[in-house]
Chain A
Amino acid sequence: MDRIPVDSDGPVIQIENLIKEYKSSDGTIVRAVNNVSMSVAAGEIVGLLGANGAGKTTTLRIIATLLQPTSGRAQVCGHDSIADPVGVRQSLGYVSATTGVPDRLTARELLTSFGRLHGLEEDAIKDRLDWLITTLSLRNYIDRPAGRLSSGQRQRISLGRALVHNPPALVLDEPTNALDVVGSRDLLDTLDHLRESGHAILLSTHRLHEIEHRCDRFVIINTGHIVAVGTRDELVGDSGELENAFFHAINRGASS
């Protein structure tokens, strides 16, 4: 498997004091992300855990340059998301539960077009496509319109789309949400491979048991605040299970 190029020794994804505020419909300001800092190094999978509405998706969208932070900064491979969004997009693959694939295009057409949008040469696109077909096992349905595929297959194509330009960083927002047990296991296995090839992966989910043993580190956030950071062992401590540790952290964060 290709090793991906990493420019610097520092963390691939880094966010510092990130704050994001919304104006809600009744005019009050809601702080969705409050002073969040974290980083992901190359060859590492970091799990971002939190309940619905905890601020996971907002954080990841800011990293992916889809949202502008109110203050603080997010960097990918040293590119600042505000000053150099194009640089960030060059170095980042992004998949979320809501990102889909067009129904009337085949996976090959989709991946080729995204290769072009990333400015790749036609030969490079072909090579990348071969690599993706092997890595993501797309061979059986690469030339079928995506509208007729299962959600697991579609999510694989989506992941392929995010990887077409071989980005050092990968941001996944609840990628297994729509998938059944088999589908999510396949996807997560692929992520393990990608980690081995040196990708830095930031993954959010609320299905703790799926990723309990896959992530190198965890960041738990609640109502926009980071309430706990650490490896599984550090977090679990005496409680025995990650889930217990998760609830413990949230309750502690809420009461403090």
Chain B
Amino acid sequence: MTTTHATLRRTPDSHDYPTRHYDLVKEFVIALAIMTGLSLVLAGIFSSPDDKAITMSSWAKADPADVVATATGELAGTTTSATYGAPYNHASEGQSVLGLKLQKWGGVGIPVNSADLVLQPLRAVSGNAALTQALAQWDALPAAQQTTQATAYADALAKAPDGNPAQVASGSYGPVPVLTTSFLGLASSGGLEGSLTSSGTFYGTDQTRAMLLLSDGAYLEDSAVADHLGGDQWGMMNEVGNYPGQPWMWLYTFWYQVKPFSTSENADTQVWALMMLLTLVLALVPWIPGVRSIPRLIPVHRLIWRDHYRRR
């Protein structure tokens, strides 16, 4: 029979120790005064960023070729939103991790027809005979031919110098050029603002459809990348200009910078699953052998309680 036995460490009751006067309320009031003062001073010196939102009109003026290409892609069903999957449509199975198809299981809770992101605002326009005719022409086409003509026009735009619609090679594009040119005109004139948010109602507080359209273009991402906010630029931690960002997001964004996540089609689910696991590990530190012993092995506490140890 062995003579080894388990030893349990019993942490003493904190109330058994000699005490000292300590004014908790005064401590809180002082802390509040310091934090308030620091916040006011930092706010006064450094302020906070407020880069204006990209409007449909500013997008159309800054990058008209991108607006036309995006509208064409919506009609062709090739944009990011059109091929997204849940929660917008069934076009893709979406991402999975460890065989769990989490994205698909979420279901199509926010159905969005990407072609309607273009067609719905155009249908609301009145007094434009050419547009009305183009819409009627589009509606009369079988779905396969809609896709063919829109895709052909998208390819032609990609080949045109600077994607300029005016310099597109002639071809069989049906009503697509008129539709997309009208869409650009609508955007430039400011008529597209709010159109996808309110969708004919008076009050609009949901920017889903407007944001999906904007995200389908290149201008939003190009602007963000120019400001060092891109996903592979540690963007989750960053803020525009030199303003303070979100340093606490460092570990979440780190994984996107390295393989296998940086080249994975399932990076979002994978990184989320990994971060959930690490968060659980952090919460369970008191019970993880080895990790819970680190404070004993690296005695930072000898500094914290040096007065106590000296008096013992």
Q: Are A and B associated in one complex? A: no
